[in-house]
Amino acid sequence: MSVARVTPRGAERWVRGHPWIYRSEVVEAPSEPGLVRVHDSRGRFIGQALYSPRSEIRLRLLERGDRPLDAAWWRERVAAAAERRRGIDATACRLVHGEADGLPSLVVDRYDRWLVAQILSAGLETVRESVVEALRACFAPEGILLRDDAPVRRREGIAGTPVEAHGSVPRQVEVREAGVRYLAAPWDGQKTGAFLDQRPNRVLAGRLTRPGGRALDCFTYHGSFALHLATRAASVLALDSSAEALERGAANAALNGLDNIAWREADVFDALRELARGLERFDTIVLDPPAFAKSRAAAAAALRGYREINLRAMRCLAPGGVLVTASCSFHVRLPEFLTMLSEAAADSGRRLFLRRILGPGEDHPEVLTIPETGYLKGAVVEAEER
Ligand SMILES: C[S@@+](CC[C@H](N)C(=O)[O-])C[C@H]1O[C@@H](n2cnc3c(N)ncnc32)[C@H](O)[C@@H]1O
Q: Is 242 in the pocket of ligand 1 (CB under 6 A)?
A: yes
Percent of the chain scoring above 90 in pLDDT: 97
Short-list 38, 58, 33, CA closest to 127: 33
pLDDT on residue 294: 86
Q: What angle do CA 217, 202, 82 make, to 5 degrees?
A: 145
CA dist., res. 149 & res. 152, Å (int) = 9
**Dist CA 1 CA 4 (whole Å):** 10
Distance of CA 105 to the CA centre of its chain: 14
Identify the architecture of domain 195-383 in CATH. Answer: 3-Layer(aba) Sandwich (3.40)
Contact 180, 206 (CB under 8 A): yes
**What contacts 154, CB < 8 A, 6 or more positions away?**
none
Query: Residue 203: what pLDDT?
Result: 96
Euclidean distance between CA atoms 105 and 121, whole angstroms = 6
Is the separation of the CB atoms in 64 and 14 below 8 Å? yes
Known catalytic membership, residue 316: no
240 within ligand 1 shell (Cβ under 6 A): yes
Structural domain boundaries in the chain: 2-63, 71-170, 195-383
Q: Which pairs from 202-208 meet CB under 8 Å and 24+ separation? A: 202/177, 202/178, 202/228, 203/177, 203/178, 203/228, 204/324, 204/356, 204/358, 204/380, 205/229, 205/284, 205/286, 205/324, 206/178, 206/180, 206/231, 206/232, 208/284, 208/322, 208/324, 208/380
Q: What percent of the chain has pLDDT over 70?
A: 100
Look at residue 9 in the predicted model and tell me its pLDDT. Answer: 98
pLDDT recorded at residue 38:
98
Contact of 227 with 180, CB cutoff 8 Å: yes
Answer whether residue 268 shows pLDDT above 90: yes
Question: Is the pLDDT confidence value at 35 over 90?
Answer: yes
CATH code of the domain made up of 2-63: 2.30.130.10
For residues 346 and 352, what is the distance between their CA atoms, to the nearest angstrom?
A: 9
- Say whether pLDDT at 90 is over 90: no
User: Which residue CA neighbors atom 8 of ligand 1 most closely?
Assistant: 224
Calculate the alpha carbon distances from 55 to 26, 97, 153 in Å. 12, 20, 10
Closest CA to 225 of 247, 243, 201: 201
Q: Which CATH class is domain 71-170?
A: alpha beta
Question: How far out from the chain centre does Cα 243 lie?
Answer: 22
pLDDT average, residue stretch 269-277: 96
- Given this model, what pLDDT does residue 253 score? 98
pLDDT in tens, 280-322: 999 999 999 999 988 889 999 999 999 999 999 999 999 999 9
Residue 256 has pLDDT above 90, yes or no: yes
- pLDDT at residue 386 above 80? no
145 within 8 A of 115, measured Cβ to Cβ: yes
Mutate to test the pocket of ligand 1, among 195, 204, 219, 220 (most ligand atoms within 8 A of CB): 219
Task: Choose one of 221, 273, 358 to mutate for the ligand 1 pocket test, by most ligand atoms within 8 angstroms of C-beta.
Answer: 221
pLDDT at residue number 88: 87
Residue 173, classed as helix, strand or coil, is strand
Catalytic residue among 138, 218, 316, 328: 328
Q: What is the mean pLDDT of the chain?
A: 97
130-175 pLDDT tens trace = 999 999 999 999 999 999 999 999 999 999 999 999 999 999 999 9
- CB 286 less than 6 A from any atom of ligand 1: no
Whether 71-170 shares its CATH topology with 195-383 is answered no
